[in-house]
Structures are given as C-alpha cells and as structure tokens.
Amino acid sequence: MTDVLKVEKLNRYYGEGDTQTHVLKDVSFNLKKGEFTALVGQSGSGKSTLLNLIGLLEQPSSGELYLTEQKISTLSEQQRTQLRNHALGFVFQFHHLLSAFTAIENVMMPLKIRGIAEKKLRPRAQALLAKVGLENYAERYPTQLSGGQQQRVAIVRALMTQPALVLADEPTGNLDTQTADSIFTLLRQINQEDGTAFLIVTHDTNLAARCDRQLILKDGVLL
Ligand SMILES: Nc1ncnc2c1ncn2[C@@H]1O[C@H](COP(=O)(O)OP(=O)(O)OP(=O)(O)O)[C@@H](O)[C@H]1O
Ligand SMILES: [Mg+2]
C-alpha cells in the first residue's frame, strides 16, 4: 500500500545558544493510506510540534517529509500551501469555527476560498452534517451549538475537501467521556468508509487503544 506520509529523521529546535531546546529528535515513521493512528506522550513531549511540522504550518530544523509522495523541501511556499489545502484536514481541541458564519457556511468555507460556488458545495456540506447528526443545525451560528456539536461541525469542515490525511490535536480533549467517545467513533467510521488516514493526538489511553497503531513520543524521541 502507498504511504500517505513519510517522516525521515525530523529534528526541531527552538531558540538559540544556551536556551536552545531540542524538541524533536530524529523522528522517523510512515503512515499508510487509510491508517488510523494515535500519537501519544506526556505533556511537552513534542506531539503538537510534530503535528505542526506534518501540517506544513512550521518548518523542521532538519530532516525530510513526504506528503502524498511529494518531497516537501523541494516545494515552493505556494506549492506547500496548495498541498496543505488539498491533502490535509485539521481538527483541533478548540475548533476555531468562525462565529460570524453559520455551521454550514463554516463547513463550506475551505472550498469557497478556493473559488467554488456555494450552490455546488451545499449538497455535500448538508450530507456530511447529516452524517454527524446535525442535519437540523446547519443554519445555526456556533454560539447556538453545544461544544460537542461545534466539534462535529469542525470535523465535517476538515473532511469537506476529502483530504488524504486528517491531523487531529486532542479533538476530544474538551469534551465529556460520552461525547468524546461518539466523536471518536465518528472519526473511525469516516476512516473506514472513505479510507482517510488519521493521525490523532490524545491523552485518552482507551481511545488510543482503539486505533490501528500507536506512536509514542518521549522527550522528542519516537519509541
Ligand atoms: N514556539 C515555541 N518556542 C519555544 N518552545 C516551544 C515552542 N513550541 C513548543 N515549544 C516547546 O517544545 C516542547 C514540546 O511542545 P509541544 O507543544 O509539542 O508538546 P505536546 O506534546 O503537544 O504537549 P501537550 O500534551 O501539553 O500539548 C515543549 O517543551 C514546549 O515548551
Ligand atoms: Mg500539544
């Protein structure tokens, strides 16, 4: 099977001189197409940093990344942005929905920005919202939704572009156990139906155990 992601000897330093910290140390791993993987490790072990590098939001100090078989270091800034928008979906602990827009408008936003007309996007956005049980909440604003509902909208938004890989940083971190469980089940379902690969940071050992695979970071080293 093809790799959706290849990480080779990735290093990330912050700061300079005496205050320099080595946050990621020669991290290497592959993710196959459709793989559902947990990324675990103590607070400060480098999980979010690794996700930011894979998400092309930050640059590594050294090492190489391949995303959908494209070598990242050879791409221009513009090509990187293009690849990020097309190949990746992001889900964070705090969903960052745009408060001035309704749920369905938030969901359509990534593709509207690409210049696709709203009427072409609506049916898929509506269908995805229905899939997460929010068919009757499409026209609500984020403040009119519960935390778990907002998180489901954010997940749908991340899936709207049909990414090859979804990066999720504690997607259930601020939710109660039951809601966290149903969100996790939803991610798993999407993974199995659409073959979308997931890399999910979680502190929840039960949820991590339900993944295909667990990657463990300890002080910046992948065990
Ligand atoms: N922009 C930055 N400048 C300097 N140091 C940073 C920066 N971002 C992260 N760090 C440091 O890098 C280390 C790893 O941080 P990171 O956020 O990746 O940890 P984490 O595993 O996601 O932790 P948590 O579980 O608490 O979210 C920490 O020691 C942190 O202080
Ligand atoms: Mg973190």
What DSSP letter does each residue of the chain carry, written as one string? --EEEEEEEEEEEES-GGG-EEEEEEEEEEEETT-EEEEE--TTSSHHHHHHHHTTSS--SEEEEEETTEEGGGS-HHHHHHHHHHHEEEEESS----TTS-HHHHHHHHHHHTT--HHHHHHHHHHHHHHTT-TT-TT--GGGS-HHHHHHHHHHHHHTT--SEEEEESTTTTS-HHHHHHHHHHHHHHHHHH--EEEEE-S-HHHHHTSSEEEEEETTEE-
Per-residue pLDDT, 2: 86
Q: Is 23 in the pocket of ligand 1 (CB under 6 A)?
A: yes
List of domains in the chain: 33-59+75-222 (3.40.50.300)
168 in ligand 1 pocket by Cβ < 6 Å? no
Q: What is the pLDDT of residue 1?
A: 62
- Which residue, judged by its Cα, is nearest atom 8 of ligand 1? 49
pLDDT tens for the chain, 223 residues: list them: 689 999 999 999 999 888 899 999 999 999 999 999 999 999 999 999 999 999 999 999 999 999 999 999 999 999 999 999 899 999 987 778 999 999 999 999 989 988 999 999 999 999 999 988 899 999 999 999 998 899 899 999 998 998 999 999 998 887 788 888 888 888 898 899 889 999 999 998 888 999 999 999 999 999 9
Q: How many whole angstroms from 111 Cα to the centroid of ligand 1?
A: 31
Whose C-alpha lies nearest to ligand 1, atom 25? 43
Q: Is the CB–ligand 1 distance for residue 202 below 6 Å? A: no
Quick check: pTM over 0.75? yes
